[in-house]
Amino acid sequence: MHRVLAETYPEAGCELDFRTPFELLVATVLSAQTTDRRVNAITPALFAAFPDPYAMAGAPRAELEEIIRPTGFFRAKTDSLLGLSAALVERYDGEVPARLSDLVTLPGVGRKTANVVLGNAFGVPGITVDTHFARLVRRFEWVTEDVAKNPVKTEHAVGALFPRKDWTMLSHRLIWHGRRRCHAKKPACGACPVAHWCPAYGTGPTDPVVAAALVTTQGPA
């Protein structure tokens, strides 16, 4: 299934725009409960105003809130951005650490965010268990229902099935497939390249024409 998904999505990768580890860290925090496209729309202005942890740690709260307001939950996200920026300045000389154990100590940063940063900014393999990834590995029965309820258990269980070097790209490919075909409410089963192996085949329309109309070329979230 992974091989076929790799062939189906050769361009799969991080859909958040970033130039530095700090930009990716901030963008990933902002991406919670919103779309990558919405985050990408506001980050140019955000990083023009506050390009590094030193600048963001000293940002006026009202100004920061106004810039990130379109991403939703902007007050909580502002808390996270101010807190993680201050922590980077105080503990890491303004540099984003390249270890999961350090990243998860930053305000607003959990394992999912840490693995996104490690895999895409530092080349350290990691599995990103977002809603799409969790849904697909449950449908594929790569994990049991009990494991699927726990993101950390899911991360470890799926990681045991694949070589470590594949973890980051595996995450991208499953997330792309979840955004483009294997939707939560109506998956495009009849237009799915891995339908032959999928235990959940038939959850969505199996007619090829009907299913093809559900396929999107760009992920909505």
Both 86 and 171 in a single domain? no
Exposed, middle or buried: residue 44 (CB in 10 Å: 0-12, 13-18, 19+)?
exposed
Question: pLDDT per residue over 107-125, tens digit each?
Answer: 999 999 999 999 999 999 9
What pLDDT, on a 0 to 100 scale, did the predictor assign at position 220?
Answer: 47
Does 117 share its domain with 158? no
Amino acid at 87: A
Q: What percent of the chain is modeled with pLDDT above 70?
A: 98
> Which of 86, 121, 156 is a domain's end point?
121
Residues 93 and 170 in one domain: no
pLDDT in tens, 58-86: 999 999 999 999 999 999 999 999 999 99
Q: How many domains does the chain have?
A: 2
Q: Residues 25, 117: one domain?
A: yes
Same domain, 26 and 117: yes
Q: How far is CA 182 from CA 8, 41, 160, 165, 211, in A?
A: 13, 26, 23, 25, 10
Mean pLDDT of 6-33: 97
**pTM of the entire predicted model:** 0.92
Just list the catalytic residues.
112, 130
Angle between helices 151-159 and 111-121 (to 10 degrees): 40
The residue segments making up the domain with residue 193 are 128-212
What is the distance between the alpha carbons of residues 214 and 191, in angstroms, rounded to a whole number? 9
Give the residue-averaged pLDDT of 201-206.
98
Q: Which of 96, 121, 146 is the last residue of a domain?
A: 121
CA 1, CA 3: separation in Å to the nearest integer? 5
